[in-house]
Amino acid sequence: MIRLATLILLAWLGMALLPLVVPMTPDRVVLEAMFAPPMQAGYWLGSDELGRSLAQRLFDGAGISLLVALVSVSVSAVFGTLLGIMAGYLGGWPDRIVSRLIEVFLAFPGLLLAIALAGMLGPGIGNVILALSLMGWVGYARLARNQVLSLKQRDHVVAAVALGRRHGEIMRLHLLPLLLAPLLVEASFGVAAAVVAEAGLSFLGLGVQPPQASWGSMIREGVRYLLVAPHLVLVPGIALSLVVLSVNLLGDRLRDRLDVTNRGGA
């Protein structure tokens, strides 16, 4: 199962990168090929209501989902980790401010908060990334803070403080390396959440705008023709489900591999 999940993610990466090296025309309208079924000549995944190739639009949407996932997760992880480490290590008023911010963001469902932010910022790929980044930093900040609260009592950290090392050096050299494993697991699940959130925002019309393709917008456009051409929904829907399932499976395996207590009891 893990090998299959890895192959699916490699296929996702290949689909996202292929349009960069192979010229494609995902927005080309061919009215004569409207609702072409899968496996037809020139349309091996069929075509949509405007005769556009579903395969090419699927590849175009793969690039959008990968871009949004990687950028939003990277920004969220860096920003949230920095805040969490500083709050947990320094304590006092920095910790109280960050803790209150975390509680405020956690009071709202994540996807609803992303929808509200995207609605205020307006549609577009850049605003989607910004909205998901503003929503996603909380998990990394909470995880980093809770880990640092226990890690800063360890002997090597106490010794570094006694030797007069600067706070920045202690956080960077003695605390951050110990946080990388749990943060990496958190980021793996964050990728799956970002893919789903991007598709949801595009489905609502808050993501990428026509004629640019996104898996969420492809599903939205295909819902109107579900009884006539179900492949308009099935193709992007199955791709989205397989990618999210594969990322979660690899995230679970990564968590098991990096779990010291679980490995020690095996």
More confident position, 220 or 160 = 220
pLDDT of 260 = 54
> Is there a domain that residue 22 lies in?
no
Please check whether residue 46 lies inside any domain of the structure.
no
Report the alpha-carbon distance of residue 10 to residue 4 in Å, rounded: 10
Q: Enter the pTM of the model.
A: 0.88
Is the pLDDT score of 261 beyond 60?
no
Give per-residue pLDDT as tens, 65-97: 999 999 999 999 999 999 999 998 888 898 899
> Is-contact 69 207, C-beta < 8 A?
no
For 76, 108, 124, 191, 193, the CA distances from 104, given in Å and listed in that order, are: 17, 7, 26, 23, 20
At residue 264, the pLDDT reads 46
**Closest listed residue to residue 45, CA positions, set 188, 231, 215, 221:** 231
In a domain, 181, yes or no: yes
pLDDT of 266 > 50? The answer is: no
* Arithmetic mean of pLDDT, 250-262: 76
Q: Residue 34 class from Cβ within 10 Å (0-12 exposed, 13-18 middle, 19+ buried)?
A: middle
3-state secondary structure of 40: strand
- For residue 22, the model assigns a pLDDT of 87
Instruction: Round to whole Å and give the CA distance between 46 and 184.
Output: 38
Lookup: tokens for 259? 């779990």
Domain total in the chain? 1
**165 against 55, higher pLDDT:** 55
| CA 178 – CA 171 distance, rounded (Å) | 10
Average pLDDT over residues 159-172: 81
Decide if 155 is inside a domain. yes
Q: Is residue 78 within 8 Å of 137, Cβ to Cβ? A: no
Tell me if 29 is assigned to some domain.
Answer: no
Rounded to whole angstroms, the Cα distance separating 168 from 86 reads 9
> pLDDT at position 107, please?
84
Query: Which of 7-11, 172-176, 233-237 shows the lowest mean pLDDT across its residues?
Result: 172-176
CA distance 33 to 147: 57
In a domain, 28, yes or no: no
Sign of CA pseudo-dihedral 223, 65, 235, 50? positive
Alpha carbon distance 133, 110 (integer Å): 11
- pLDDT for the residue numbered 259: 67
Q: Is residue 34 part of a domain?
A: no
Tokens 């577009």 -> residue: 124
**Ramachandran region of residue 42, left (φ > 0), alpha (ψ -120 to 50) or beta?**
left
Q: What is the mean pLDDT of residues 153-166?
A: 81
Owning domain of residue 67: 2-14+54-260
Task: Quickly list DSSP for 160-177.
Answer: HHHTT--HHHIIIIIIHH
Retrieve residue 204's tokens: 């609502």
Nearest-angstrom CA–CA distance, 220 and 22: 27
- Return mean pLDDT, the chain: 87
Half-sphere exposure at residue 169, Cβ-oriented, CA atoms within 13 angstroms: 8
154 — phi, psi (to 5°)?
Answer: -70, 160
pLDDT band at 31 (very low <50, low <70, confident <90, very high): confident
- Specify if 159 maps to a domain: yes
Q: What CATH number should be reported for the domain holding residue 183?
A: 1.10.3720.10
Share of residues in the chain with pLDDT > 90 (%):
42
Q: Tell me: the pLDDT tens digits for 121-155?
A: 888 888 899 989 988 899 999 999 998 888 888 88
Does 250 score more than 60 pLDDT?
yes
